[in-house]
Amino acid sequence: MTSYSVNEDDISTKPCRCNVFNSGARWLPYKQKPESRVLRLLLLPTISPSYSLINHPSRPGRHEMVWLTIFGASKSAVMASDQATLDGSLSSTDFQNSANAFAQKWNKFNSGFPEWSWIDCSNRLGFHRVTEGYLSLQHVLFPRSIEEEHDEGNSNDHQEPFDTATLVQSNSDSNDGDWYDFHVVYSSSYRVPVLYFHAQTSDGQPLNVGEIEKNLPSKSSDVLMDSKWTFITQQEHPYLNRPWYMLHPCGTSEWMKLLLADHNSTDRYLVSWFTVVGQVFGLKLPLEMLKS
């Protein structure tokens, strides 16, 4: 084991307090079966062994197998290649390049969806700075989970049948759902992209963690329940000076290192990154984006 560049010491088996992937749970190295819900969340995108990411909506049962495949494969890739430069991180210039490549592809292949755009902040201090900015996706509508409302309706049916009408009424009011803004901001400390987001109701009220949870795919909200503190935290948005939610980046370079094991192209960095991070919100990439 010690001969691999990625050894188990690098991947902490201790719970991390603020990491999407081992928040409250463990990051399990190859030798252990991925049993935690956290890992299943991570591998929700069905990742083929060749690292191109394909959505298989009809085959949700493949996830665990895929988990083993990707890490089995990446391990041998790691052995074969020189790891000196593959540390899963990105320079700020590469971030901007990769972000632009990502936005271009997204906007080309995902028409009908809101567009990602680069927000230039190089003038934010009243003078010019190089490479200042972030990627922004505004006004994404998350319909309220129909399934959940259905359940709620049922349980109320049993207890207070007369309330059902009111409940349905209020449901139909909120049927338009919640609005999300996503920003991808570069972290100079962790040298990786970080996903920030802000959520509000259609009448402009910000959502709290509990309400956000209801918008997430059930696997993500399970993780959120496991570790409210760590999975999603509120941090100051580096450019907006206001609290935004964010997915903590301290583990990002670890899994990016594995994802990029034989694709060390900075152009594709953000695409690969988003296949994992987007899953938290059920945001999937069109297949075309994953082709080189």
Partner 1 sequence: MQGGEKEAQRYVWDGAIPLQVHLHDSEVTTLPPPPPALILAPRIGYLPLLSSQLKPFFSGALPPGVDTIWFEYKGLPLKWYIPTGVLFDLLCAEPERPWNLTVHFRGYPGNILIPCDGEDSVKWGYINSLKEAAYIIHGSSKNVMNMSQPDQVELWRSVMNGKLETYNRISSKLKLGIIEDDFSEKVNPSLKPPHTVNETEATTTLKTSRIPVRLYLCNTNQDFENLETVPPFDTWDQISYINRPVEINKEGKYFTLYDAVKSILPEFFHPAAEEEGKDGVIKVVRIQGIEPKMEIPFSWVVNNLMNPDYFLHICVYINVGRPMGT
- Single out the segment in contact with partner 1 by CB under 8 A; choices: 5-13, 52-60, 136-144, 261-269: 5-13
Q: Longest C-alpha distance within the chain, in Å?
A: 68
Which DSSP category does 278 fall into? G
Site string for partner 1, 180-199 (x = CB under 8 A): -------xxxx---------
Give yes or no: 250 in active site.
yes
Instruction: Tokens for 59, please give them.
Output: 């085959």
Sign for the pseudo-dihedral over CA of 74, 75, 80, 85: positive
Q: How far is the CB of 245 from partner 1 (least distance, A)?
A: 10
Q: How far apart are CA 58 and CA 26, in angstroms?
A: 29
Q: Which residues partner with 206 through β-bridges?
A: 200
Closest CB to partner 1 among residues 98, 227: 227
User: Per-residue contact track with partner 1, 123 to 162, x per CB under 8 A?
Assistant: xxxxxxx---------------------------------
Query: Which of 75, 228 has the CB closer to partner 1?
Result: 228
> In whole angstroms, what separates CA 273 from the centre of its chain?
8
Q: At what angle do helices 252-259 and 266-277 cross, to 10 degrees?
A: 120
**Shortest CB 265 distance to partner 1, Å:** 21
Residue 47 pairs in a beta bridge with 53
29 binds partner 1 (CB under 8 A): no
* 5 touches partner 1 (CB under 8 A): no
Q: Structure tokens of 175?
A: 């049927």
Residues that bind partner 1 (CB under 8 A): 9-10, 12, 14, 16-18, 87, 123-129, 187-190, 206, 229, 234-236, 238, 241-243, 248, 250
